[in-house]
Amino acid sequence: MRAAGVARGPVPTSIRPPRPSPTWSPALHAPAVDPAPPLADGLRDASLRALALGRSVAGTTAPNPAVGCVLLRDGAVVGEGATAPAGGPHAEVVALRAAGDRAVGATAVTTLEPCAHTGRTGPCTAALVDAGVAAVRYLVPDPNPVAAGGGAVLRAAGVDAGPLDAPDLAAWAVEDLRGFLTLVATGRPHVLLKLAQDRDGGTVPSPGGYLTGTAARRRVHALRAEVDAVLVGGATVRADDPRLDVRDVPHDAGRQPRPVVLTAGADLPPTARLLGRRPLVVVGPGAEPARCAALVAAGAEVVRVDGGPEGPDPAAALAALPAHGVLTVLAEPGSRLAARLLAADLVDVAELHVAGGTPRTAALPLPGPRLVAADDVAVGPDRVLRFVRPGVA
């Protein structure tokens, strides 16, 4: 087992370092207040605010990206917006509506390059040009072949458009947009796989117990708070009856990840606790219709995809999720399904939570051909080994 470095210090209860906030107070919901307060560092603060706006709608926009947009004129904010749920206006259009006439001559700061295509809504590039916006700065170029090229379209229309030269802000935007960016690149959501093990590679806890300690389990809840869905297999539901919700860490009370269960036979107990949380149950071709109907009656949404006797094809199961509002997944299965996901190259980031310290045997073949060691952190008495696909947030 190789690791890139050991972070020492206080136990991380949040999975990400804190980010700075805009230096101005967000009197931004009052674009009618004129003049709005000037900005100390206009583009940077506007970018931080756009990032915060995008994060505020994370989990509500799939399959569209959760984007934020701020409009500046003469150093003051004249409008802001975030992507509405799919079918609604994109962030740029929300901000333009808020700004009204004050968008003329403004600079739009967005977390993602404005789209140049007509989907369920019109192209944002046209809305920006029509509103008389003078300049556009974005943190991440749009990789979507259907919608890309917004910067060039804007420049052709006489708008001073281009990426903002701020690598740290761009890295945060890539992290926030990782679900959308992974979807464009692979056709499936971003997948973070977590597996707990003891030092000898054992992954099955004693009945009713846990392998790892409180701090590592709090980290899992912090990971859950960052994703649209938490995924397990049918055997884990039968063995552990998990709820798969966020508890014990600060989180947005209105946002809980949706449970997703992969199962061949749809054989889940009608009393399973996660059935009360509107789970998506993904079944293979062999699942009996009567069992599926019973799960629907118990509160689940059942999705049937291709597969074999083992269950739904994991790639097909994941590819079905964005249509159900899922762009980011925390996979928390047992070792069997975890190995399947890894072998099928469906994992972007993996965490091994090793009870009691450095492992003698790893429960999964990590690092591997796709995932390289990125972090090795002490979390209470346990260790978290993190592996990432190079180039992925």
Positions that interact with ligand NAP (CB under 6 A)? 195-196, 203-205, 211, 232-236, 239-240, 262-265, 267, 310-312, 314, 332-337, 340
Q: Which is nearer to ligand NAP, 153 or 223 (CB)?
A: 223
Could you tell me the smallest distance in angstroms from the CB atom of residue 278 to ligand NAP? Answer: 19
Could you tell me the smallest distance in angstroms from the CB atom of residue 184 to ligand NAP? Answer: 25
Tokens encoding 196? 């707990």
Q: Which is nearer to ligand NAP, 94 or 195 (CB)?
A: 195
Task: Give me the residue label for tokens 């079905």.
Answer: 320
Q: Which is nearer to ligand NAP, 255 or 291 (CB)?
A: 291
Residue 92 annotated in active site? yes
Could you tell me the smallest distance in angstroms from the CB atom of residue 293 to ligand NAP? Answer: 16
Residues 148-157: contacts with CB under 8 Å, at least 24 apart: 148/113, 148/116, 149/116, 150/113, 150/114, 150/115, 150/116, 150/123, 150/124, 150/125, 151/113, 151/114, 152/116, 153/116, 153/123, 153/125, 154/114, 154/125, 154/128, 154/129, 157/125, 157/129
DSSP-H helix ranges across the chain: 42-56, 91-99, 124-130, 150-156, 167-176, 178-186, 214-224, 234-240, 289-297, 314-319, 335-343
Could you tell me the smallest distance in angstroms from the CB atom of residue 12 to ligand NAP? Answer: 19
Cα angle 184-192-91, degrees, rounded to a multiple of 5: 45
Cα angle 113-393-122, degrees, rounded to a multiple of 5: 25
Query: 382-388 and 349-354: which strand pairing?
Result: antiparallel
Could you tell me the smallest distance in angstroms from the CB atom of residue 4 to ligand NAP? Answer: 22
Could you tell me the smallest distance in angstroms from the CB atom of residue 369 to ligand NAP? Answer: 20
Q: Which is nearer to ligand NAP, 81 or 284 (CB)?
A: 284
Distance separating alpha carbons of residues 71 and 62, to the nearest angstrom: 24
Catalytic residue from among 92, 113, 332, 351: 92
DSSP per position, 188-203: S-EEEEEEEE-TTS--
Q: Is the dihedral of CA 248, 253, 255, 258 positive or negative?
A: positive
Q: Which is nearer to ligand NAP, 86 or 249 (CB)?
A: 249
Query: 190-197 and 311-312: which strand pairing?
Result: unpaired
Q: Which is nearer to ligand NAP, 149 or 359 (CB)?
A: 359
- One-letter amino acid of 132: G
Tokens encoding 32? 């009618």
Active site residues: 92
